[in-house]
Structure 1
């Protein structure tokens, strides 16, 4: 396997037969894990692809990008031309037909599927994999702690957040001056308040 640009993420499929890679050139590439052969390039993001993950059943690949979208791709459909024309010719044509897109309030850099494949746990909170899109979750945007897209708590103007992470009802924020802040929110109450369910 050889890459021309920085690879931002790699992930094995659940059966270990495929590898997906995400890179700065705005693409996701599928590889045969046993041979290292390139199988297909998935291309339609407008910015770097920052994270990639297979669904638990291996039938979907989900990609996240700096373009603030998550896209779901059908693995079987993407490999159709490979089955028809073989790996040499089939891998040349880029696959641009994702079947679902979720707009996000920021850039997702890490995510995993829930065991049932219904949700994505991300650094921005919880996303439902379905037509409803973003399903709430804590995030940090423009100096505000937000739930979904709604601002709920303003960080003091003198503090400069440099990073954050979310786990359930907790958000932890790192600041440029070396401080770390951890806050707990009642996400169930916020969901009811903002009618996200």
Structure 2
């Protein structure tokens, strides 16, 4: 595999079972919008509780993202590392430290949004294969949690299981979010045979 200098990759060996790859934006971070600054309340707290349980069960997990930063419309290596370090610290304090972070550059605007989306899907698949290679595990033990139908299709050639995460609910009581996290937790554990 060819690695690109602009990719941001941080691997650790904390867990020992399977490999669950979450898309960061729209799942761990409740927003996918790049037009607003991020705040701590943008983190998906029910997901963090689930990740804490994953950590106690020895399940490997981590996040795939673009190189977005904390501030509106920020991006690039420095901004992405700052956001990664901040979220990593919060998760560590919550006993939900991930095994890995992987970030790739935004696709440059092209004349065709479809070409940009196809390039992003190819880069996501490449990063996914990179994690599989680094941990040395079978693809049947890998689960991609995504909120994108396109990513689900793009992951298919990699031979990994995908779990679709539905968009977070704007409801104040958070019951829809909690039910979605419970559904995702069950799907991951069934896929890993737990």
Q: Give the TM-score category using the shorter length.
A: under 0.3
Larger Rg over CA atoms: 1
Highest relative contact order (Cα 8 Å, sep 6+), 1 or 2? 2
TM-score, structure 2 as length reference: 0.23
More strand by share: 1
